[in-house]
Amino acid sequence: MISEYELEQLMRAAMSDCRKDPDFLRALPEAVLHTLAPASDDTGRLRLWMFRQPNGVLFIPYFTNLEQARESAAGQLRVVTLPGKQLLEISRGATVIINPNHESCRLHPEEIDALVSGNVAVIATQVLKEGCEILVTMPSGVPTWIIETLRDLYGRMPFVECAWLVDAHPVERPDDSTLVVCLDVAPPHQSRAATATLTALQAGLGRETFTVDVIVENGTPPAVEENGLLIYPAKVDMA
C-alpha cells in the first residue's frame, strides 16, 4: 500500500517532469483515495458526486488526503474513502480530476480503463523550436493494426471529426521521418483525444518498438488534407 506522503511526492514529481507520470499513475491503484458522495442517499448504491467545469465537461474529484476532501465537501457532501483500485473501477467511463482545488491532474476515461487493466501509457510533450519547418508526406508501411485500432477508438469518441496519418520530416533532415496522427477535435476534448490515442497505441504495441506523435487541432491543415492518409471516418467505396 502506498502512503499518502509517498503518493503526493510522486504526484509533485510527475507535475514537474512528465517523464515521471508513469510512476505516479502506477501508484494510484495501490493508494487510499477520497472522493465525495451525496450526504444522504436511499438508493442502496454508492453514487459519486460530479462537478461541471466551465467548458461543460463533468468530472469526479479524487483527493490524495482527507483534509482536501473535507474542504471540498464543505459540510454539504459525504467523504468516501476507498482503495485506489476499487475507486478506479467504479469511476470507469468518467473524467477524474485529482485534488481539483489545489495542484491538480486529470485522468481521462481511456487512462482509467488502462490503469484498471494494469497498463500505463508513457506520454511526453514536445515543443518545436521556433522557425522549425516540417514537411508532411503520405505515410508508407503503416501497420494495419494501427489503423484498425484508431478507427475503433474514434468510433467511440463522437468529438473526433476526422483523423489523418502523415509522415513528418524536418526540412534539414529529410530522411528522418516520424508517423504522426493528426486529429480534428474541438478544444474541450483535445487533451482527451491525444491521450486516448497514445494510450490505445501503446497498449497495442506490446514489445514492438514504434514511434508515433499526435497533433490535435480544431480543423485540418491544408498540407495534411493534401498529403495525408484519411483513416477516420473511413472512406466508403460507393462502386
More confident residue, 210 or 21: 21
pLDDT-above-70 percentage for the chain: 91
Place of cell 493528426: 182
Instruction: Write out pLDDT tens, residues 51-83.
Output: 988 878 889 999 999 999 999 999 999 999 999
The predicted structure's pLDDT at residue 171: 75
Average pLDDT over residues 32-43: 89
Q: Is 33 within 8 Å of 64 (Cβ atoms)?
A: yes
Count other C-beta atoms under 10 Å from residue 108's C-beta: 21
pLDDT at residue 119, rounded to an integer:
79
pTM above 0.75, yes or no: yes
Predicted pLDDT of residue 100: 92
What pLDDT does 175 receive? 75
Q: What is the mean pLDDT of residues 19-45?
A: 89
Report the interhelical angle of 109-116 vs 190-205 (nearest 10°): 30
- Give the pLDDT score at 188: 86
> Cis before residue 221, ω within 30 degrees of 0?
no
Q: Residue 70 to residues 6, 100, 182, 188, 215: CA-CA distances in angstroms?
A: 21, 13, 42, 29, 39
Distance, in Å, from the CA atom of 193 to the CA atom of 136, rounded to the nearest integer, reads: 21
CB atoms near residue 100 (< 10 Å)? 18
The dihedral of CA 135, 139, 143, 144: what is its sign? Answer: positive
> What are the pLDDT digits (tens) for 91-146?
999 999 999 988 899 999 988 998 888 877 766 665 555 556 778 999 988 989 99
pLDDT at 130: 59
pLDDT in tens, 138-181: 998 898 999 999 999 999 999 999 999 999 987 777 677 889 99
How many other CB atoms sit within 10 Å of the CB of residue 173? 8
Q: What H or E segment, with its residue span, contains residue 79?
A: strand 77-83
Average pLDDT over the chain, rounded to whole? 87
Structure confidence at residue 235 as a pLDDT band (50, 70, 90) = low
Quote the pLDDT of residue 202.
83
What per-residue confidence (pLDDT) applies to 135?
Answer: 87
Q: What's the confidence (pLDDT) of residue 238? A: 41
Domains of the chain: 4-116 (3.40.1350), 134-232 (3.30.460)
For residues 95 and 112, give the distance between their C-alpha atoms in angstroms, rounded to a whole number: 8
Instruction: Extract the C-alpha cell encoding 68.
Output: 482536501
